[in-house]
Amino acid sequence: MVGICVISARGGSQGVPGKNIKRVLGKPLIVWSIEQAIATPEISRVVVSTDSPEIAKIAKSAGAEVPFLRPQHLSNSEAGKFQVWQHALEACEKEYNEKYNFFVDLDCTNPLRDVDDISAAISQFKEAQTRNIDAVFSVCEARKNPYFNVLEKSDDGTLKICKKGQDGQWIVRRQDAPEVLEHVASIYVLSPEFLKSNAKNLLEGKTEGYYIAPEKTFDLDSEVDLELIEFFLRKKLQKNRQSLLDVVGKRVVLVGATGVLGSYYSQMLVAEGCIPVLVDRPGSTVITLGAELGVQAFEMDVTNEQEVITGFAQIREQFGDIDAVINNAAVTSEGLASGGGDPFSPFEKSSLDVWQAAIDVNLTGTFLVAREGGRLMKENGGGSLINVSSIYGVVGPDHSIYDDMPFKSFAGYSASKSGVIGLTRWLASWWGKDNLRVNCVSPGGVFNDHAVEFEQRYAAKTAMGRMANPDDIAGMVLYLISDASKYCTGQNFIVDGGFTCQ
């Protein structure tokens, strides 16, 4: 079904001068409706009918089409809305050589409706075709009821309730009063045939009401309305702003899922309503962790090209599209320390194996996961690739804080983590136009039952005077998964309690 939306906006207005382009929360009033119409999937063309070149210019820059300027006889305060619709329909059919299955009008003085309301009114109209309904338009339950609390004056000036009940008696309880509706100037969906008939106004047709929520019923007629509209719009925007951070239903591949941070992220993804796939090296506890959390889990050695290729192919097959990949696997100094041996000899005697392990896992593994995971997301229309570096990819360590500790900072770690930041920037510019964002999170030291001495030495080097907890880092990961970061790419987000700021 092809549908056109026409937004009518006269240049002149008696109540609030210039109201159709008055700025409401910083945006010309008409632009709110244009943006809603453009975002409504059922509407294929958005047209503004106006007599004002100024409104036409604003409408065009907001994405609407203005194929004609409305003639003067349809632009004064006497002109009826119905005639304006009839004119717009005829002009658009001619201009675009198109026929429409439905005609939508959005009142530009009411920006409070949602795109979902427009879609729902259109579906109601489509469904009502079986009952030969000519139009569906927005209504709400009237705040006052003429059977109960709307008054009129008698001939002698005394007051009485407007209407008696069907039995001719006055109604004394509100719940006994018949339902009465208010016509809300917001959404109209009409049949083009009805507009081409001899009808002169909306209510000459067979109509049904689309019930719209009470807080969306205000339209701009006076300065008081403006305050009300801004109040409810602000509330709505605040709600939407929260939902930008909403990650419910996001499909996220977490690589390096069983370590200190990975195991925390795994639980967080489940708690936040994401659909995670957990990945870690063969021999790790990833399958058990997946079973415990009730989510899918895969074993994959990120240094093995074939395993990464096959692993992501399997993920695609069993899991479908993905929204984000957290590239979190690494060889860390604590990981090396717990593996036994002494990987932390002085640099002059340092082992090539340790260097190579860091490059293989932290840099080559990050590259392979980026390539395979990124390709999947690119093919699915985009996503968020989150690489993980470290403060030691950004600044050199103060080696003295590791004196007498069982683990140390080692060169391969810093070199590989700096490489991850470079890779992030390169990939961000490579994939930017594919809606695939690539960012990096660089955590500071996370407390993991360290010796008190080490904790104190480390904490003294941070502005906030403490080591991180996993949840301190996790917020940044969530932000990067969410749409709140939708314009961020190529950045290294350092989350270190001020370790690198001083």
Ligand X SMILES: NC(=O)c1ccc[n+]([C@@H]2O[C@H](COP(=O)([O-])OP(=O)(O)OC[C@H]3O[C@@H](n4cnc5c(N)ncnc54)[C@H](O)[C@@H]3O)[C@@H](O)[C@H]2O)c1
CA 15 to chain centre: 36
Least Å distance, CB 255 to ligand X, is: 6
Q: Does 309 sit near ligand X (CB under 6 A)? A: no
Q: Does 440 sit near ligand X (CB under 6 A)? A: no
Q: Which residue is nearest to ligand X (CB)?
A: 259
Least Å distance, CB 248 to ligand X, is: 24
State the binding string over 384-413 for ligand X (x if CB under 6 A, else -): ----x-x-----------------------
Nearer to ligand X, 118 or 388 (CB): 388
Q: Which of 247, 329, 440, 481 binds ligand X (CB under 6 A)?
A: 329
Least Å distance, CB 294 to ligand X, is: 19
The span of 111-119, 203-211, 322-330, 485-493 binding ligand X (CB under 6 A) equals 322-330
DSSP assignment string, 95-141: HHT---SEEEEE-TT-----HHHHHHHHHHHHHHGGGT--EEEEEEE
Nearer to ligand X, 384 or 390 (CB): 390
**Total binding residues toward ligand X, as defined by CB under 6 A:** 26
Region of 353 (left: φ > 0; alpha: ψ -120 to 50; beta: rest) is alpha
Three-state DSSP at 431 gives helix
Our separate counts of H helices and E strands in the chain read 15, 17
Q: Does 311 sit near ligand X (CB under 6 A)? A: no
Q: Which of 297, 330, 427, 494 binds ligand X (CB under 6 A)?
A: 330
Q: Does 424 sit near ligand X (CB under 6 A)? A: no
Least Å distance, CB 416 to ligand X, is: 9
Task: Of 287, 375, 277, give the one whose Cα is nearest residue 319.
Answer: 277
DSSP assignment string, 33-46: HHHHHHH-TTEEEE
CB 134 within 8 A of CB 191: yes
Q: Which of 33, 284, 364, 485 binds ligand X (CB under 6 A)?
A: 284
Helix (H) or strand (E) holding 8: strand 3-9
Nearer to ligand X, 211 or 407 (CB): 407
Least Å distance, CB 418 to ligand X, is: 12
- Residues designated as active site: 413
Three-state DSSP at 148 gives coil
Euclidean distance between CA atoms 105 and 6, whole angstroms: 5
CB 436 within 8 A of CB 471: no
CB 29 within 8 A of CB 19: yes
What radius of gyration, in Å, describes the C-alpha atoms of the chain?
Answer: 32
* Binding residues for ligand X restricted to 354-383, rule: CB under 6 A: 361, 365
Helix (H) or strand (E) holding 466: none
Least Å distance, CB 289 to ligand X, is: 10
CB 333 within 8 A of CB 410: yes
Residues that bind ligand X (CB under 6 A): 256, 258-262, 280-281, 284, 300-303, 328-332, 335, 361, 365, 388, 390, 443, 445-446
